[in-house]
Chains A and B, each alone.
Chain A
Amino acid sequence: MEVTFRVIGRAGWGGLSRGFCAEMLQSLVKNVWIPVKVYCTRVYQEIWVGTGLMGFTVYKIRTADKRRKALKALSLAPAHGHR
């Protein structure tokens, strides 16, 4: 609340969105990112490899599903066209 009143006093309602977001981002970096930086960048490097593997699996399943739906639509379309 204190932060909101300070920012409104400085720059009006336009400043509320920009200034408040900047302060929120700074608070997020100071309280969340700085403590977990070592873990995310050094300790859990192998988990990022696993996340990449999972992302690749999801991508493959999604493209296969899209291809299957496209083929199904194509096979249905000529059947409707020849009536």
Chain B
Amino acid sequence: MNENLFTSFITPTMVGIPIVPLIIMFPSILFPSPSRLVDNRLVSIQQWLVRLTSKQMLSIHSHKGQTWALMLMSLILFIGSTNLLGLLPHSFTPTTQLSMNLGMAIPLWAGTVATGFRYKTKASLAHFLPQGTPFPLIPMLVIIETISLFIQPVALAVRLTANITAGHLLIHLIGGATLTLTSISTITAFITFTVLVLLTILEFAVALIQAYVFTLLVSLYLHDNT
């Protein structure tokens, strides 16, 4: 049973060749590019959603921060679509892999920090010491702020990994329990099935919320540095 629980997180291979790159590139097929002045319904809905999200997310940014619009919109679309596709039965979710999420978090976080040091060096260094700190506490607070800075990409990656992995594990566990209980007690199986349906609805919400949280945090780190 333990082996069955974690087999869905093993990176899939086909004839010995890992097919994870294909799975990562797959969601891009689901977003057709707008090619006309007035497009079809799907593309129009996609454009409307992207416009809504980008307006909401980029309204706080300066001119420099708004150059990251393409990156932030691509990020939220990629993570959201990958998470949602992972809710299909027997599919592999790349965002359950910590390596993948660290691979997204570290370059983006480092990019925001490097942007801050390049264009606003004094302001970026000033972030290491909060305003109004008592003199004796300065060394300790600088250390604490440095640690909190370096923990940001790790927290970003682990938050996404843990949320998606935990959700998938719970669905797997409760689904298995429902199947087992059908032969033992129908009423208990029905209650467990109701819990499973509610959990699946929650996982749909978590999939979108986690994409939004990841992108929002990257956007906030960028805002602090621009």
Question: Is A47's CB under 8 angstroms from B108's CB?
Answer: yes
Q: Is A2 an interface residue (CB 8 A)?
A: no
Alpha-carbon gap, A49 to B107, bound state (A): 7
Interface residues of B in 58-76 (CB under 8 A from A): 67-68, 70-71
Interface residues of A, CB < 8 Å — how many?
Answer: 12
Q: How far is the CB of A18 from chain B (nearest CB, A)?
A: 24
Query: Within 8 Å CB of B112, what residues of A?
Result: 46
A73 at the interface (CB under 8 A from B): no
- Distance A36 CA – B58 CA, assembled complex (angstroms): 20
B111 CB contacts on chain A under 8 angstroms? 44, 46-47, 49-50
Chain B interface size band reads 10 to 19
Q: With A44-B111, A47-B71, A49-B110 in contact, do A54 and B103 touch (Cβ < 8 Å)?
A: yes
A30-76 residues with Cβ-Cβ distance < 8 A to B are 36, 39, 43-44, 46-47, 49-51, 53-54, 57
Within 8 A of A (CB), among B91-131: 102-103, 106-112, 114-115, 118
* A50 & B106 in contact (Cβ 8 Å cutoff): yes
Contacting pair A50 B110 (CB below 8 A): yes
Whether A50 and B109, one on each chain, are in contact in the complex, defined by CB atoms closer than 8 angstroms, is yes
Task: With CB as the reference atom, state the residue of chain A lying closest to B109.
Answer: A50
Contacts A50-B108, A50-B109 known; A43 to B67 CB distance under 8 Å? Answer: yes
CB pair B102–A54 under 8 Å, yes or no, is yes
B221 to chain A, nearest CB (A): 11
A-B contact pairs, 7 of them (CB 8 A): A44-B71, A46-B111, A49-B114, A50-B106, A50-B108, A50-B110, A53-B107
